[in-house]
């Protein structure tokens, strides 16, 4: 994201965000995504680093950004109670109970967490070695659930360090950590990224072609002809990676397993909704992205559309044309948000922003 979307964060003011949400709710939308690549924009490690370096200017900047995010969440809590929000966040937020509690109060019920890999070598492959593995990873992911934030975990297969046993390890960790949804994608070199630059150089000056189109411009190749795996793997063939990835999808979204996970909600209607959503998600992302041929993709698309009809009704609400934009927080509450300072452990390692 840093390389492809510009090397400078762009942030919208809370007033504009609240106004847009109110406009959507007036029209009858109540499930809304806060399109932020990392909703947890200031980590405890960032604060600790500024403190250790005795940099009061940087510390004040970070605390101001943190206070703005708390104020936004406090204002979300003022909106109609049937609104539900979803966002993207990094795992460092699991170490910040005050932030997770504010998310719950703001009804940010779900978050995409880029777990990516469950091994240290895998994390180094994708430049995320600040993430954790093993039981520490399980513990962090469980923290989200304990604070009322449901996780959609994202994992990548086909990394150079992956081995056949990595797939089973990933499936087991996803289940043990009690995440509610998961997506298992295969490594794809996206234009603008370091991986793409390296991959393109390895195939120059005469890359292989498919239907006359160079594979380095794979997005222009018809989907039915497009490769599923792009980079040669040290120990596994493309078909093996695809089949093992598909098997993990099958394991995680097995009906019995999904039903057991649905116990996160209590009412029968809610559990059935959870199952329906899980099956729809699997049809949309697993069968269409990994299917071996166009016939399978066509069947998957048909079932996804069939499942989406009842789900769409669950997401709708009666319009609220007279809903007004709530006023800004009183000065006292804004000041309170600005003073939310977690206890910082001195041994906290700096995180990547």
Q: What is the pLDDT of residues 76-88, one digit of tens each?
A: 999 999 999 999 9
Q: What is the per-residue pLDDT for 44?
A: 94
Residue 241 located in a structural domain: no
Residue 71 located in a structural domain: no
Query: Nearest 5°: phi and psi at 326?
Result: -65, 150
Residue 156 located in a structural domain: no
- Please give the Cα distance from 33 to 311 (Å, whole number): 17
Residue whose C-alpha is closest to residue 134's, from 96, 106, 107, 172: 172
Q: What is the per-residue pLDDT for 129?
A: 72
Q: What is the per-residue pLDDT for 349?
A: 36
Total number of domains in the chain: 1
CB atoms within 10 A of CB 326: 13
Whether a cis peptide bond, with omega within 30° of 0, leads into 314 is no
CB atoms within 10 A of CB 36: 17
Low-confidence ranges of the chain (pLDDT < 50): 291-292, 338, 343-353
* The model's pTM: 0.85
Residue 276 located in a structural domain: yes
Could you give the dihedral angle defined by the CA atoms of residues 245, 247, 253 and 259, in that order, rounded to the nearest 10 degrees?
A: -150
Residue whose C-alpha is closest to residue 123's, from 84, 149, 160, 81: 160
Residue whose C-alpha is closest to residue 114's, from 36, 171, 183: 183
Residue 315 located in a structural domain: yes
Q: What is the per-residue pLDDT for 344?
A: 45
| Dihedral sign for Cα atoms in the order 221, 219, 309, 255 | positive
Residue 317 located in a structural domain: yes
CB atoms within 10 A of CB 198: 11
Residue 353 located in a structural domain: no
Residue 238 located in a structural domain: no
- What crossing angle do the helices spanning 44-52 and 56-76 adopt, rounded to 10°? 160
Q: What is the per-residue pLDDT for 40?
A: 95
Q: Give 166: exposed, middle or buried? Use CB within 10 Å, 0-12, 13-18, 19+.
A: buried
Q: What is the per-residue pLDDT for 353?
A: 29
Provide the domain limits for residue 265: 255-321
The helix/strand/coil state of 5 is coil
């Amino acid at each position: 994201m840093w390389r492809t979307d510009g090397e400078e964060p762009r942030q919208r003011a809370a007033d504009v965000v609240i106004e847009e949400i109110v406009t959507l709710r007036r029209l009858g939308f109540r499930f809304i995504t806060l399109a932020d690549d990392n909703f947890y924009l200031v980590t405890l490690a960032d604060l600790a680093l500024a403190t250790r370096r005795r940099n009061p200017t940087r510390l004040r900047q970070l605390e101001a950004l943190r206070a703005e995010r708390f104020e936004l969440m406090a204002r979300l809590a003022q909106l109609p109670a049937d609104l539900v929000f979803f966002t993207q966040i990094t795992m460092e937020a699991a170490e910040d109970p005050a932030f997770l509690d504010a998310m719950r109060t703001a009804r940010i019920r779900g978050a995409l967490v880029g777990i990516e890999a469950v091994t240290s070598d895998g994390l180094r492959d994708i430049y995320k070695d600040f993430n954790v593995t093993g039981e520490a990873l399980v513990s962090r992911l469980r923290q989200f659930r304990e604070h009322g934030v449901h996780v959609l975990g994202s994992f990548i297969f086909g990394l150079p360090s992956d081995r056949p046993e990595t797939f089973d390890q990933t499936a087991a960790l996803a289940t043990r950590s009690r995440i509610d949804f998961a997506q298992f994608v295969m490594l794809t070199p996206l234009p603008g990224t370091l991986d793409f630059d390296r991959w393109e150089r390895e195939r120059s000056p005469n890359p292989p072609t498919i239907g006359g189109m160079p594979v380095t411009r794979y997005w222009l190749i018809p989907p039915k002809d497009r490769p599923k795996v792009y980079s040669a793997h040290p120990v596994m063939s493309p078909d093996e990676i695809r089949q093992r990835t598909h098997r993990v999808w099958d394991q995680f979204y097995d009906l019995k397993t999904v039903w057991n996970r649905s116990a996160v909600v209590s009412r029968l209607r809610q559990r059935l909704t959870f199952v329906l959503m899980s099956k729809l998600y699997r049809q949309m992302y697993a069968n269409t992205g990994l299917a071996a041929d166009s016939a399978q993709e066509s069947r998957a698309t048909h079932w996804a559309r069939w499942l989406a009809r009842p789900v769409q009704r669950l997401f709708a609400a009666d319009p609220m044309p007279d809903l007004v934009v709530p006023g800004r927080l009183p000065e006292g509450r804004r000041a309170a948000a600005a003073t939310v300072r977690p206890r910082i452990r001195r041994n906290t390692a700096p995180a990547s922003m």
